[in-house]
Amino acid sequence: MKNNVYSKKELYSKGAQKIFKGDAKEAAFLLGGIGTGNVSIGARGDLRDWEIFNSPNKGNSLPYTFFSIWLKPEGRKPISKILESKFEPPYELKGQGTKFVDLPGLPRFDSSTLRSEYPFVNVDLLDEEVPMLVELEAFTPFIPLNTDDSSIPGAIIRYKIKNVSEKKVDVSIAGSLANVIGLGDYNFFSKDEKIGELKNEYKDAGIAKGLFYTNTGISKEDSKFGSMALVTRDLNTTYKTEWLNTGWFDGPQDFWNDFCSDGKLINGPVNEDSKGVIASATRSKFKIGSLGIFHNILPGEEKVFEFILTWHFPNRTNNWENWDIGLSFCSDCGNDNRKTIKNYYGKKFKNAWDVSDYLISNMGRLEKSTKDFSTILYDTTLPNYVIEAIANNITVLRSNTCFRIEDGTFLGWEGTCSDSGCCAGSCTHVWNYSQTLAFLFPELEQTMRRVEFNLETDDDGEMAFRTYKVFGKKKWDTLPAVDGQMGSIVRLYRDWKISGSNNLIKDLWNNASKALDFAFSYWDTDGDYVLDGKQHTTYDIEFYGPNSYSNSLFFAALKAGIEMASFMKDKEHVEKYSKALEEGSKKLDSLTWNGEYFIQHLPEIDNYNYQYGEGCLSDQLFGQLFAHLVGIGYVLPKDHVKKAIHSVFKYNFKDNLKNHHNVYRAYAINDEKALVVCSWPKGSKPKSPFTYSDENWTGSEYQVATHLIYEGFVDEGLTLVKAVRDRFDGYRRNPWNEIECGNHYVRSMASWGLLIALGGYKFDMVKGEISFDPVINKDKFSTFWSTGKAWGKYSQEKNSKTGKIKWNIEVLYGDLKDTKINNNYIS
């Protein structure tokens, strides 16, 4: 292997999941369900990035929103601290020192470490003065196949406090939360007019009590309408529905004085007279409330202080909001009206209190299934960085990149900018790479196929690669994308095989076959079954002439199409596609195979911009990888495929980017390792090569890694995965955010393919068969698996005496009846 970048041990041993110290400032773990928005936990244990208001909003913090602890060891003075580790440099922010609404001047813990087994996050807080083990644990329920219970707008936040001293300790923990409902921004000095009327209530409703926030002046259809709640099941509570609001810093001063005195909160007066000339002008427009829980903890004892944070902002703009990238052909995609549509979750829950009621009433079940999923995922013999690649990118589904509208349709951006979505429309050529949703929530993935084929495909088979019709807008008027359109056919096949849902094919085949037929008439200009026309692609440019990128996807679509047409008894298409596949594949191979890899066949390349010609494209066999993943085998000569994918690794993987020249976006730099999008190992780099060609995309890196594993180059595949994840160390980048054109980029969900390939997992729920054939650690192997009907744990182990492998399957959710596993039925 090239340079032996990593040792075998580094590549193959399980190892521990990463932990992140408080100075790992990029690390931010997203809480929140699918399509609900998020709040994140940083490595200091801080709450950050409040993205709950139906829009991405990286960096958005709520004023005076934090947890704090008061503790009094018997016979000693009390200690009060904010439940975060100390601030890390830099200490300056926008010319105001640190941000004062974060209360940077109050005591905090000396240090912290954050770790996660998705979807759980834990932060240990340490301080030499505090004679307790202090641990934050937080999660939002996440249960594959159970879409509703994975779409809850809230989070459970617990502090586990263990007394390791020899004295009894009185402990109080208070959560403070700002009511900012309807406010445009949360700047202390903001000139924004107050919107509506904020209302902070204390409610005691039997199983739950706590703070309930609304804004009574906002209409129910407004996108700013909503509610928030901070509640607990605990019996020992104190509270302050509203902080003093007489101006200046009176509110935090009064709260902190009160809390420090005995840990218990007095629900005191809010608006005494302001007595300074400027003071009244500095009254806050937001309202802070605090909820406290108190216990005494005996030596050696641990107590849990549990808070439930929920939110409910049911309405979102009835369009791809704020997609203002200034492309002239995109006039219909902007923020053209403020009509709203309901979020799926907005329909299910009445308000935030209702959400917290549901969470509390179902806590046992929700937590158990969530824990089952997490436990299986991490209790595996796969290397830690592989699990990280697979698990951490689930985050995309629960980030603002994705959402669900009232009718249940699942939609996605490509990624998100800091305060708006980035690249609208469930873009077919980017979602092509993503596998995670298809395997965890096939029901949601299928809604995307329905949009693609039955809403966005014309009668002549041309598919818009971004959906606008889903919002009642007109079809997006640009070129069709060959990769996205062909990929949709393969994805339809996959979704059919995962779910065993024959209705899916019956409902969509008519339009799916039109979409596939469209390739023959539109992209194959000379009828030789090799696409060679103007091929718009995921590189945001058009390739011309025969190339294996477009055509491997075309061939995979044909092969999947043959299967689906057979099922539909559509003989005509079976024949058409079979002939095309056979002849096209041979022809393409003869035109583009250069002995080492597949090139673009475009002799008059100087007449075009943005091509790759004789370059070695990392995605050159993406269609072939997709064929492997869905179980339809080779669509190009096996020996050429093997050699080509190895050439991709050989030429495009850089073990140090120091001297790499890339004028595009840079997702890896300096001494980092990465697989670049394209290289020209034999020279002939065009003067103006296609956009992005010197970049690196984690989604491509994962699909190539998966493909290398399928072709037997496991070392190389794992090397790529480890190279990617080494870059996400909490200092350089956020481990839960693989960025491409935007945060939480959809292409990164290609990583789920690693689980499929490494487990040798095959699925055909139409026939009722699944099987495993692990590629690594065969002698002791275990993995998570899922179909559209069930999920659980598969394990196998070699008997050291007999040398025989014994396998076992556990179903933790759903059922597997009538399914053959490794060619056997189980009870």
Give the Cα separation of 50 and 64 in Å (integer): 13
Spatial CB neighbours of 662, under 8 Å, sequence gap ≥ 6: 676, 694, 695
Q: What is the DSSP letter of 471?
A: G
Q: Per CB under 8 A, which of residues 666..685 are in contact with its own copies?
A: 666-667, 669-670
Q: Which of 210, 699, 742, 753 binds its own copies (CB under 8 A)?
A: 742
Q: Which of 733, 762, 778, 820 binds its own copies (CB under 8 A)?
A: 733
- Under the criterion CB under 8 A, does residue 111 sit at the interface with its own copies? no
Q: Which of 743, 795, 796, 819 binds its own copies (CB under 8 A)?
A: 743
Q: Per CB under 8 A, which of residues 607..626 are in contact with its own copies?
A: 608-610
**CB of 368 vs its own copies, minimal distance in Å:** 35
Q: Per CB under 8 A, which of residues 214..253 are in contact with its own copies?
A: 246, 248-250, 252-253
**CB of 668 vs its own copies, minimal distance in Å:** 8
Give the Cα separation of 332 and 820 in Å (integer): 50
Q: Is 625 exposed, middle or buried (0-12, 13-18, 19+ CB in 10 A)?
A: buried
Q: Per CB under 8 A, which of residues 528..567 are in contact with its own copies?
A: 536, 540-542
**Residue 419 near residue 478, CB atoms below 8 Å:** no
Residue 735 or 753: which CB sits closer to its own copies? 735
Q: Which of 17, 21, 100, 222 binds its own copies (CB under 8 A)?
A: 100
Beta strands 824-825 and 820-821: pairing type?
antiparallel
Residue 302 or 419: which CB sits closer to its own copies? 419
Q: Which of 83, 178, 288, 417 binds its own copies (CB under 8 A)?
A: 417
> What does each C-alpha distance from 662 to 301, 409, 692, 747 come to in angstroms?
57, 39, 9, 21
Q: Which of 7, 659, 802, 827 binds its own copies (CB under 8 A)?
A: 659
- Under the criterion CB under 8 A, does residue 105 sit at the interface with its own copies? yes
**CB of 326 vs its own copies, minimal distance in Å:** 4
Give the Cα separation of 741 and 394 in Å (integer): 18
Give the Cα separation of 327 and 332 in Å (integer): 11
Full strand arrangement of the beta sheet holding 769-771: 762-764, 769-771, 820-821, 824-825
With the C-alpha atoms ordered 429, 435, 439, 441, is the resulting torsion angle positive or negative? negative
Residue 9 or 687: which CB sits closer to its own copies? 687
Q: Which stretch binds its own copies (CB under 8 A): 139-147, 341-349, 733-741, 766-774?
A: 733-741
Q: Per CB under 8 A, which of residues 165..194 are in contact with its own copies?
A: 189-191
Q: Which of 49, 84, 254, 321 binds its own copies (CB under 8 A)?
A: 254
**Residue 424 near residue 320, CB atoms below 8 Å:** yes
- Under the criterion CB under 8 A, does residue 569 sit at the interface with its own copies? no
Q: What is the DSSP letter of 677?
A: S
Q: Per CB under 8 A, which of residues 58..97 are in contact with its own copies?
A: 58, 80, 86-87, 89-92, 94-97
With the C-alpha atoms ordered 638, 639, 640, 645, is the resulting torsion angle positive or negative? positive
> What does each C-alpha distance from 401 to 118, 417, 438, 579, 751 come to in angstroms?
18, 9, 16, 40, 17
**CB of 614 vs its own copies, minimal distance in Å:** 18
The mark string for 261-290 relative to its own copies (x by CB under 8 A, - otherwise) is: -------------xxxxxx-xx--------
- Under the criterion CB under 8 A, does residue 739 sit at the interface with its own copies? yes
Task: Give the H or E element holding residue 173.
Answer: strand 169-179
Q: Is 148 exposed, middle or buried (0-12, 13-18, 19+ CB in 10 A)?
A: middle
Q: Which stretch binds its own copies (CB under 8 A): 35-43, 387-395, 690-698, 699-707?
A: 690-698
Give the Cα separation of 602 and 581 in Å (integer): 22
Q: Per CB under 8 A, which of residues 472..511 are in contact with its own copies?
A: 478-479
**Count of C-beta atoms within a 10 Å radius of residue 671:** 9
- Under the criterion CB under 8 A, does residue 416 sit at the interface with its own copies? yes
**CB of 322 vs its own copies, minimal distance in Å:** 11
Q: Per CB under 8 A, which of residues 17..36 are in contact with its own copies?
A: 25-26
Q: Per CB under 8 A, which of residues 296..325 are in contact with its own copies?
A: 324-325
Q: Per CB under 8 A, which of residues 328..357 are in contact with its own copies?
A: 328-329
